[in-house]
Every structure is written in structure tokens, then in C-alpha cells.
Amino acid sequence: MENLILDATPNTPKVLFNPADRVFEIAGESRPENVKDFYGPILKWLDDYLAELTAQGKKDAILLKMYIEYFNSSSAKYILNIAKKMHDFVSVDIPVTIDWCYIEDDEDMKETGEEMERMSKVPFNYLVVE
Amino acid sequence: MEKQILLDYSGDFRFETIEILLQKVKEQLSHLEVKTGIKKKVVNIMVECLENIYKYTTLDKENSYFNRNFKSKVILKKENKSFIITAGNTILNNNIEPLKEKIDHINNLDKDGLQNLYESIINNGHISDKGGAGLGIVDIALRSGNKLNYDFSPIDHDLSFYELKIKINLL
């Protein structure tokens, strides 16, 4: 499986999905002009990766680090979809943890993480950064 | 503490305008002694407001009345105990009633009600061609924690000027 690497821009996050080390990262701001165009390929990549792992019978744990500084409401829907997609991995016994990073006293971001954890049913770690 | 105008913009709205105005807002906020969480709340609400205006503006263009010289506007003020964001753009008169109903409905919900509405849209809503999930205004209401104020000033037979005013408490 090819790595998925997207550089950050002022309005889209850095995306670094490296199957070799099983640590995936999404970091930065998420306000793309076209949210479907940006997140569609990422969700597709995760589908393909899940199919590959399932075919190979691999069950190594995956860590997804999310440090999204700002995101707009339409990105929120796609970020939730990514978390739900990670639950598909959990469903076939591939352990997944999501590190939800936020800066101290950003209660909104922490609450958003807690809601996404509840809606996606994937375990989140809450990490204060900076 | 005095009242401060942190941003006062009126004019054309392109996608790049969102970026420029957000940078300016972040820069202005960086000088203030306000909790980081509140500053982030202001920026997040500002993002939704600017994107809304941008969507309305592109809609205007498709409806070919954009050249009638009605400029969109956005203002960010800091008062003694709150920030106030005012966002304004033209709207087709036919679209006023549904928008009013939506905001009135949101204003009638308590925090749990808003949260339920948010979850129902984020789980079931479709992203429209304009990229909106219909979440923006609910997100603004949840983050602000205050009722949303709005005003529609008639311009002519087809159009009105729509203003949304959002208060964000400092504490």
C-alpha cells in the first residue's frame, strides 16, 4: 500500500498515513474550498487499506493522531466519517486508538473529541499539546 | 476596558478573502489578554460566518444580481464582557422565511436540544453542492452559547440585506 502524504496548506491539514509504521497523522487547519474533494480520497485510501489488511489477515494496532487546530463545520462531518471508518478496522479486530490533541483551555475542541468518540465508538486519548 | 473594533470589512467576497480576514482576526486577537479557548471560539465562529457569506456571494453570482453593488460585510468588536460578530450579506426575499424559521428554531433550543440537532445533522445530513452540511448555524449557536440575533432590511422587490449578530461571552 502506498503512503498517503499531503502537505499542509493554510486551509487544509497535513496528512501523513504511513502503513509501514501504522502511525497516521492529520494536523493543521481544515477549511478546504471543496470538502468532498479533499476528504473523499482520504476515506477511499482507508477503505483500500482496510481491504488490504483484511486480505493479508494482519491485526497490528493503528494509531491515528489528530491535531486539528481549526476546522469548519463541513470538515467536522468528514472528520467524524474518518473516525467511523476507523471503527470498521476495530470491527475486524484491528485495534485503533485516536490521539485527539488540543491546546490547553480549548474546551470546545475537547468536547468535540468526546462527541466524536461517542459517535464513532473508537477509543480516543485526549492530549494537551504546546 | 474600552470597546474595540478588531475587524470592519465591507466589500467583495472571494475564497481568498476568507483567508485574508481570518489572518487579520488572529493577528488582532493575539494582542488581547483573553483566554486562548475564547479566542479560538471567536475564530471558529468567524470561520463559519465568512464561509456563509462566501457561499451566499457565489449564489448571488449564479443568480446574476451580484453586480448591484450590495457589498457583504463582517465586523468583530470587543466590548466589556463579550465579543460581538456581525455578518451581513444580501439574500433573496424568497429565502428569508426558511432562514428565519431555522434561526428561530435554533434559538428555542436549550444546549441539549442544540447538541441533539447537531448530532442528527452531522450523522445524517448531506453535504450540499455548495459544500455546506447545514451544520454551520447550529455550530455557531453551540459555540456562542447565546441566542442569535438577526435582522432583514428590505432592499427592493427581490432582495434584502441579512445580518446575523453573534455574542461570545468573555467568561
The complex scores an ipTM of: 0.92
The pLDDT of residue A1 is 87
Among 3.10.100, 2.60.120, 3.30.67, 3.30.750, name the CATH number for the domain at A4-129: 3.30.750
Q: A6: which 3 cell numbers?
A: 499531503
pLDDT in tens, B54-94: 887 766 566 655 545 678 999 999 999 999 999 999 888 98
CB B50 within 8 A of CB B74: yes
Listed range (A37-41, A87-91, B44-48, B126-130) with the worst mean pLDDT: B126-130
Which phi and psi angles does A96 have, rounded to 5°? -130, 135
State the smallest CA–CA distance between residue A57 and chain B in angstroms. Answer: 30
| Chain A neighbors of B139, CB-CB under 8 A | 73, 76
B61 at interface of A, judged by CB pairs closer than 8 A = no
- What CATH number did the domain enclosing B117 receive? 3.30.565.10
Residues B41 and B140: their CA atoms lie apart, in Å, by: 9
CA dihedral A36, B89, B145, B103 (to 10 degrees): -90
d(CA B136, CA B67): 27
Which of A68, A76, A39, B122 shows the shortest CA–CA distance to A47?
A39
Contact across the interface for B35 and A105, Cβ inside 8 Å = yes
Q: Are A101 and A65 in contact (CB under 8 A)?
A: yes
Contact (Cβ atoms closer than 8 angstroms) between residue A114 and residue A86: no
pLDDT of amino acid A120: 97
Q: How distant is the Cα of A69 from the closest Cα of chain B, in angstroms? A: 9
Domain count, chain B: 1
Q: Do A70 and B43 touch (CB under 8 A)?
A: yes
B136 touches chain A (CB under 8 A): yes
Residues of B in contact with A34 (CB under 8 A): 131
* pLDDT classification of B1: cutoffs 50, 70, 90: low
Whole-angstrom distance, CA of residue A104 vs CA of residue A94: 31
Chain A CB contacts of B44 below 8 Å:
70, 108
Residue B46: Cβ-neighbour burial (10 angstroms; 0-12, 13-18, 19+): buried
Nearest to A75 by CA among A123, A108, A41, A29: A29
Mutate to test the interface with A, among B40, B119, B168 (most CBs of A within 10 A): B40
Residue A127: other Cβ atoms inside 10 A = 13
Residues 6+ apart with CB under 8 A from B22: B43, B46, B47, B50
Q: How many CA atoms lie within 13 A of B122 on its CB side?
A: 28
**Over the stretch B92-112, which tens digit does the pLDDT of each residue have?**
898 899 999 999 999 999 999
Q: What local confidence, expressed as pLDDT, does residue A117 receive? A: 98
**Contact by Cβ (8 Å): B91, B160:** yes
The whole-angstrom distance between A125's CA and the closest CA on chain B is 20
* Separation of alpha carbons A26 and A17, rounded Å: 8
Nearest to B132 by CA among A40, A74, A75, A76: A74
Give the minimum alpha-carbon distance from B16 to chain A in angstroms, rounded to a whole number.
Answer: 10
pLDDT tens, per residue, chain A with 130 residues? 899 999 999 999 999 999 999 999 999 999 999 999 999 999 999 999 999 999 999 999 999 999 999 999 999 999 999 999 999 999 999 999 999 999 999 999 999 999 999 999 999 999 999 7
Of the candidates B108, B15, B137, B32, the one whose C-alpha atom is nearest the C-alpha of residue B76 is B32
The three grid cell numbers given for residue B4, joined into one nine-digit string = 474595540
Contact B127 A77 (CB under 8 A): yes
Interchain proximity B122–A119, CB inside 8 Å? yes
Residue of chain A with shortest Cα separation from B16: A33
Q: Does B122 touch chain A (CB under 8 A)?
A: yes
The percent of residues in chain B predicted with pLDDT above 70, rounded, is 87
Domain that holds residue B50: 4-169
Note whether A31 contacts B125, CB cutoff 8 Å. Answer: no
Whether residue B119 and residue A104 make contact (CB cut-off 8 A), yes or no, is no
Q: Pull the grid cell for residue B77.
A: 468588536
Top-confidence residue, B131 or B43:
B43
